[in-house]
A = this chain, B = another copy of it.
Amino acid sequence: MARQKAYNEEVVVEKAMNLFWRNGFETTSMQMLEKEMGINKFSIYASFGSKNGLFLESLKCYMGKIKFLLNTLENSDLGIAGIKKYFYDFIEFTRETDFGKGCLVTNTANEINDEADEKIKQVIGQFTGQVREAFASILKRDDTKDQVLVDQQADYLIIAMVGLSSATRFFAQSQLDNYIENVFNSI
């Protein structure tokens, strides 16, 4: 009945995600997105509504790509060693794709301010909360710890993770390793 799309939305959104990941939301222009995604502005707006809409889909795409890390963490029976493995796995993940990009969610959290789009803030809060809960859940299983200590250490670990995300963008591998080893000396 009508012409068919010459592109696959999942494919082009991943290309957009990689561009946002490398450059951040503001610095990435529609012009750059057209070029990277290989489609016209018209098609981008037809599929995603706005730059913000495309960015939200890119965030979802990113979270899909790192879901395997979170699954490994949540299904781990290694206790705190499993959390440590998550830290190392994350570094490896950022190096696999292209060194120095950090975590798209953390990068976004660092970029935005209070007046930013509510949905974006919501996605960031949800993701951060989910990782923190995974940490807390593993800590809780360690029966030598009471709930107050679990909460304190979960706060510590989620902020330590935020620091690691930023640090992968401008610290050397050996420094990241020294960092992680010391993070897990204290718990």
Q: Kindly state whether residue A114 has any CB partner on chain B within 8 Å.
A: yes
Q: Is the CB of B182 within 8 A of A113?
A: no
Q: Is the interface of A mostly helix, strand, loop or mixed?
A: helix
Q: Is the CB of B152 within 8 A of A113?
A: no
Please choose the segment from A33-41, A78-86, A171-179 that sits at the chain B interface, where 4 or more of its residues have CB less than 8 A away. A171-179
Q: Which residues of B contact A100 (CB under 8 A)?
A: 113-114
Q: Kindly state whether residue A187 has any CB partner on chain B within 8 Å.
A: yes
Q: Which residues of B contact A160 (CB under 8 A)?
A: 160, 163, 179
- The residue of chain B having its C-beta at the shortest distance from the C-beta of A148 within the complex is B178
Q: Kindly state whether residue A170 has any CB partner on chain B within 8 Å.
A: yes
Chain A residues in contact with chain B, CB under 8 A? 22-24, 26-27, 100, 106-107, 109-111, 113-114, 124, 151-153, 155-156, 158-160, 162-164, 166-167, 169-171, 174-176, 178-179, 181-187
A-B pairs with beta carbons under 8 Å apart, 23 shown: A24-B111, A106-B166, A107-B110, A109-B170, A110-B111, A152-B181, A152-B182, A155-B171, A155-B175, A155-B179, A155-B182, A156-B178, A156-B183, A159-B171, A160-B179, A163-B163, A163-B164, A163-B166, A166-B166, A182-B187, A184-B186, A185-B187, A186-B187
